[in-house]
Chains A and B, each alone.
Chain A
Amino acid sequence: MDCSDNTDNNSNNGNPEENSDFEISDILNFYTEKGSVTDPQSMTFSISGEEHTLGNALRYIIIQHPEVEYCGYSIPHPSEDKLNIRIQTTENTTAIDAMRKGLEDLKSLCAKISETFYKANRDFDEKNNIS
C-alpha cells in the first residue's frame, strides 16, 4: 500500500501558490486532493457540497468493484462543506476509473429503484382505483 502521498486534510493550507487545486473548486464541485495524483492507483477525491447521503452510498458501490482494494469516505470537519473519498486499487485499474465506474453504477442503481417505485405506485393506484 502506498502511503507516501499526502492526503492530509490540511495539506492545502500552506503556501498559497500551491493552492491551484482549490481555485478549481470555486467553479467545480469535484477535485483531487493535492499530492494524491502521483499514484494513479491510490487517490483521494474531494467533493464539495456533499455529505453522508452521497458519501456512504458511493463508498458502498465502489467497494463492490473487485479491483478496488480500499474505499472509504470521511467528512473532515463539520464546518467545512466537503466530503473526501479515498480509493486504492490493484494494478489492473486506476482510482479514477473506479470512481467513474462507481458513479455510473450508483446512477443505474438509483434509476432502477426509482423505476421500481414508479411501477409500485402505478400498480397501487390501479388496484385502488385512483386515477
Chain B
Amino acid sequence: MDLFSPANKPEIRIQELTGERIRFILTNTDLSMANALRRIMISEVATIAIDMVQFDLNTSVLADEFIAHRLGLIPLDSTEADKIKYPRDCNCSGACKECSVELNLHVKCTEEDTTKDVTSKDLVSHDPRFTPITEGPKDAGILIAKLRKGQEIKVKCIAKKGVAKEHAKWSPCAAVAFEYDPFNKLRHTHYWIEEDEKKEWPQSKNANDDFPPLDDEIFDFTAKPNRFYFEIETIGSMKPEDIVMNAFKKLLEKISSIQMGLHSNDVPINGREPTRDVF
C-alpha cells in the first residue's frame, strides 16, 4: 500500500476553534496514527507548572502539602514553554533561569470578621512569560486557600517544564474527546439494550458529520476506521491549535531520537562494539 497515494491523503477539517477549544475531523489516516495524536496531546505536550514549594510561613488551617498540591495544579501560561529547558537537560544543579521560573506568594489577612481569599492572582512571577492565566480583568482567579485574621501564607514556588506522563498537572488538556464510526457500522462496540437500540442510545453529535448506514446495509468486515472526530478542551495554558501542532512536533522528535539511536547503535552484529562517539 502506498501511504501517500491521493486516496490516502490525510485531510483535516476544523469545525470549531475558540480560545480554549478546537473541534476537527481527521480523515484518510489509520487509527494508530489518530490515537498516537490523541495520546501525545493528553500526556506528552510540555507545559510549565509549579513543581517545588518552599514554605516560609503557613499559619492557615490548611497543611503545607495540601497547599503545595493546589499550587501545582494552577495553569501557568505555557505558550513559550519551548523556550525553557527541561531540568534534566540543564547544567545547573538545582534550578536556574534557563530551566525554571520563580513565583512568590505572600498574603496576610488583617481584617476583622471576614475571610481573605488567597488566589492565583496573588502569585507574583519573576518571568512575565510564565504567569498564572487569567480570563480578563473580571476573573477572580483560582482559589488556593482562605485566611482569617492574623493568618498568613508566605511561599516561594519553583515552576518547571514537564509532561503529563509524569504528573497530570503538566497536561495542557482538560479533555480530549475522540470518536470514530458514530453509527457503529464497524461493530467495534456492542450496545447493551433492553428493547430498542435506536431509542435507548442517543446519537453522538458527530453523527451529523458521518454517513448513516442504509437500512439493508451488509456488514463489511474488511472496513477500517478512517474518519476521526477530535475535540480538545484546554486548561488555558496553551492555545488549542498550538497543542495539536506541538503534538506533531513531539511525535517527530520521538521518531528522530529513535533514528539517532538506531544509527549510533547500528546493530552490533557478530559482537562488533557499537560506536558510541556519535553522541
B-contacting residues of A (Cβ < 8 Å)?
21, 24, 27-32, 37, 40, 47, 50, 52-54, 56-57, 59-61, 64, 96, 99-100, 103-114, 116-118, 120-121, 124, 128
Contact = CB atoms under 8 A, between A and B. Distances in A.
Contacts of B269: 37, 40
Interface string B1-37: 1011000011111100100000010100110110111
Interface of chain B, helix or strand or loop or mixed?
helix
A60 B265 contact: no
Interface of B: 1, 3-4, 9-14, 17, 24, 26, 29-30, 32-33, 35-37, 39-40, 44, 241, 244-245, 248-249, 251-252, 254-259, 261-262, 264-265, 267-270, 274, 276, 279
B267 A53 contact: no
Contact of B267 (A54, A57, A96, A118): A96
Contacts of B261: 28-31, 47
Given A54-B36, A56-B36, A64-B1, A113 B12 contact: yes
Given A32-B265, A110-B251, 15 more contacts: A30-B262, A47-B261, A54-B254, A54-B255, A96-B267, A100-B262, A105-B3, A107-B255, A107-B259, A113-B12, A114-B245, A114-B248, A114-B249, A118-B245, A120-B12
Contacts of A52: 35, 39
Given A56-B36, A103-B255, A24 B3 contact: no
Contacts of B265: 24, 28, 30-32
A37 B268 contact: yes
A29 B257 contact: yes
Contacts of B241: 121
A130 B112 CA distance: 49
A28 B17 CA distance: 40
A47 B14 contact: no
A67 to B, nearest CB: 13
27 contacts: A27-B276, A27-B279, A31-B265, A37-B268, A47-B258, A50-B254, A53-B36, A53-B39, A53-B254, A57-B30, A57-B32, A60-B33, A100-B259, A106-B255, A107-B256, A108-B4, A109-B33, A113-B10, A113-B29, A113-B37, A114-B248, A117-B12, A120-B13, A120-B14, A120-B24, A121-B241, A124-B14
A120 B10 CA distance: 11
Nearest to B258: A30
